[in-house]
Amino acid sequence: MKSWKNKLLGFASGAIFALSAGSSWAVEIEYWQYFFEARVNAIDALIEKFEAENPDITVKHNTFPYADYRTKVAAAIPAGEGPDVVQLFYGWLNDYVDAELITPLPTDMFPPEKIEAEFFPMVQAMKRDGQYMALPTAVRSLALFYNERLFEEAGIENPPATLDELVESAKKLTKKDGSGNITQVGITTGMNAQDHHWWREVLTRQFGGEPYTDNYQNVNYDDDGSGAAAMKWYTDLQNVHEVTQAGFMDEPQAAFKAGRAGMHIDGSFRIGALEKTRGLKWGVAELPAGPDGTKSNYSSYWVNAVTSKAQGEKAEAAQKFLAFITSDEAMQIWLDTVGELPAKPSAALTDENKANPVFGPFIEGLGYAKTTIFANESAQRQVLMDATQRIFLEGQTAEQAIAIAAEEEQKILDEYYGE
Amino acid sequence: MSFYANLTIKQKQVVWAWTFLSLPILFYCVIRFYPTLNAITLSFQEWNLLGDRTWAGVDNYAKLFADPVFWKVFKNTFIYLLLGTPVSLVLSFLVAYHLDKVRFMHGTIRALYFLPFMTSAVAMAWLWRWFYQPVPIGLFNNALASVGIPQFPFLSSTTWALPSILAPAVWAGLGFQIIIFMAGLRAIPQTYYEAARIDGVGPWTILWRITLPLLKPTIVFLVVLSSIGFLRIFDQVFNMTSNNPGGPLNSTKPLVLMIYETAFDSFDMGYAAAQTVVLFVILLAVSLAQLYIMRDK
């Protein structure tokens, strides 16, 4: 009996010794992102490559549903429990930097001048005191999706290049039943989806304005009149031209997927979902230009950052991994699997990518895209949703609705920036 | 050990009682009282979940009472309560009263009424959300359109969105209330009814003089329970208007949804905690008031 116990003890101590010896030369780091199948596959493929190149590092990949992701990250990182390398939406970074939960990327491994030369300029928003805090693998922009079958049926040859053409095409694509109910929209609309970005960064600029001043701390679209003009054009699609209906088929992308919408403005992240839709023939075009030919676009991105949890050799491993997933090679893998555009012109603006009928328009859009710096994205979106609702349901004019919206949004900004 | 041995049997019983009681007490302290007190403290602080908590005095409350959205939401919450509770109680009483008299397929009918209560609120909310859609996908509007009647703006109208959300919520809770009412009806001794019939009393008087007074404990229980339910309504609203959280121009937003948005969209934890404290006070006041009004004299 006794010898049996001794044996077991020996086994146990041997196992512990072996395990602790193992951990001294293999560093394990943890990577977090939200669950989206293509993204998970892309990171899994990248981890496999990375581990093959760095046999002394293992990367544990953890994902959470999108709806919970922000809360999970915000709860885990301050508790020192979460990931070593984490994916954050660019708009969240400020709060994490202020709370000192993100370690700056060391300048010897990530020289700022090199990043500025190589990455798209919007990435410069990730710089604090001469050091970069985080880097993206991919960026996304907006474009106009159009249903090729419906275009053919309506006898339209090319996707609209200007806003006027967009209205004309939309009229031809709209279908109504006997009692005048819309059964097919020319273009989908919904401020709750991507339209608030389209309105903010594209339409207001095309109507001659500058939506914000002071590095997005001051609302400007009411002062220069562009907001009201852009809002009138946008709501006229429904009120005057009757080519759309907010909330048609519940969600804009659902209407487009079901083949009940001629045109649909959405981000590059939608490509993957549309590719899987059987029987839908669709094309992509750049966002239509404004009355004076102005082109604009909205770009957003997710960044990778090293958290304060990673210390010592873990920090080194984390930085190595971050450098790997933001390399040109990783970006191409990301583009091929996820459909999101590389964050570096050198990887994005290859002739092959530019000529690609699907990615091409998005990549062109990146060249002139703006990135809104949000204080509170959902609250700022709500302001614009309320403005359109006041026009549709309460009969306000665009000027009235925009005056209220500007005041509400300025209040959100002032509160955030502590004025 | 000798200390324990020296105790009297009475004292030993006390020791054991407290030993067993300590577990739920500990549970309540850690899971209930500590977070509650913490939330009350948080309502006087500012916190974005990431950084340190900083004291803000009564700023959060001042902001809350000056916020027009809060007063809109406050009003909505009470509309849910004042519309939902009476409607659901009258409906469930009517069903229970008549179902009690039905013998034919009694069990099946009762099960059918109870079925929605067992269904997940989220699945049901989405189904109703699709029912309410405009042409071409909404069931109700397609039916209207097919007979040439104009579409009805269920969820997209500031007037009708709230009742449209309330309807499935009432329907879902009906089964439970019917079962409780039926149990209450069965508990009334038959002798009262026999005595009334011998005296030649009409059915209306029986209802007003015998059935309803004797159902009072059941009614109190259901009023308190369903009031708390409607004051905390969330699932239906959140899922039926997730495109436009809280309906067009906040016309359907209840207090709980506002708390959720403040906490998990804006990450303004202090402000959300202040709203939670207000909700807590309302729930407490409504429950106490109802118990007081409907107490036995």
Q: In degrees, to the nearest 5, what angle opens at C-alpha A202 toward C-alphas A200 and A205? A: 90
Give the pLDDT confidence score for residue A216 in this predicted structure.
Answer: 93
Give the pLDDT confidence score for residue A21 in this predicted structure.
Answer: 43
| Residues above pLDDT 70, as percent of chain B | 99
Residues A347 and A378 in one domain: no
DSSP symbols for B161-183: HHHHHHHHHHHHHHHHHHHHHHH
Residues A181 and A133 in one domain: no
Average of per-residue pLDDT across A307-320: 92
Whether residue A22 lies inside any domain: the answer is no
Interface test with A, best of B244, B258, B262 (most A CBs within 10 A): B244
Mean pLDDT of chain A: 90
State the pLDDT confidence band at A412, using cuts at 50, 70 and 90: very high
pTM: 0.88
Displacement of CA A183 from its chain's centroid (Å): 31
Q: What DSSP state is assigned to residue B132?
A: T
A176 within 8 A of A169, measured Cβ to Cβ:
no
Residues A135 and A146 in one domain: no
Residues A234 and A116 in one domain: no
Is the Cβ of B48 closer than 8 Å to some Cβ of chain A? yes
Q: What DSSP state is assigned to residue B248?
A: G
Residues A232 and A318 in one domain: no
**Domains in chain A, number:** 2
Size of chain A in residues: 419
| CB contact (8 A) between residue B266 and residue A378 | yes
Peptide bond into B24 cis (omega under 30): no
Q: Is B253 in a helix, a strand, or coil?
A: coil
Q: How many A/B residue pairs have CB atoms within 8 Å?
A: 80
DSSP symbols for A37-104: HHHHHHHHHHHHHHHHH-TTEEEEEEEE-HHHHHHHHHHHTTTT-S-SEEEEEGGGHHHHHHTT-EEP
Mean pLDDT of chain B: 92
Q: Which amino acid is at B288?
A: L
Average of per-residue pLDDT across B204-225: 92
| Residues above pLDDT 90, as percent of chain B | 75
Q: Which amino acid is at B133?
A: Q
A321-366 confidence digits (pLDDT tens):
999 999 999 998 998 888 888 999 888 888 888 889 999 999 999 8
Is the Cβ of A349 closer than 8 Å to some Cβ of chain B? no
Whether residue A17 lies inside any domain: the answer is no
- Residue A163 CA: distances (Å) to CA of A154, A157, A166: 18, 16, 5
Residues A318 and A208 in one domain: no
CATH code at position A366: 3.40.190.10
The per-residue b/e assignment along A153-174, b for 16 or more CB within 10 angstroms, e otherwise, is ebebeebbbebeebbbbbebbb
Whether residue A409 lies inside any domain: the answer is yes
| CB contact (8 A) between residue B129 and residue A250 | yes
Residue-range domains of chain B with CATH: 65-293 (1.10.3720.10)
**Sign of the C-alpha dihedral, residues A370, A374, A377, A380?**
negative
Cβ count near B296 (within 10 Å) = 6
- Quote the tokens at residue A93: 């970074």
What is the complex's ipTM, to 2 decimals?
0.86
Residues A108 and A184 in one domain: no
Pairing verdict, β A85-89 and A369-370: unpaired
Residue of B nearest to A183 (CA): B136
CA A89, CA B217: separation in Å to the nearest integer?
54
For residue A278, the distance in angstroms to the closest alpha carbon of chain B comes to 20
Residues A164 and A244 in one domain: yes
Residues A329 and A393 in one domain: no
- Quote the tokens at residue B13: 């019983």
Residues A360 and A264 in one domain: no
- Residue A32 CA: distances (Å) to CA of A103, A154, A272, A312: 16, 46, 21, 20
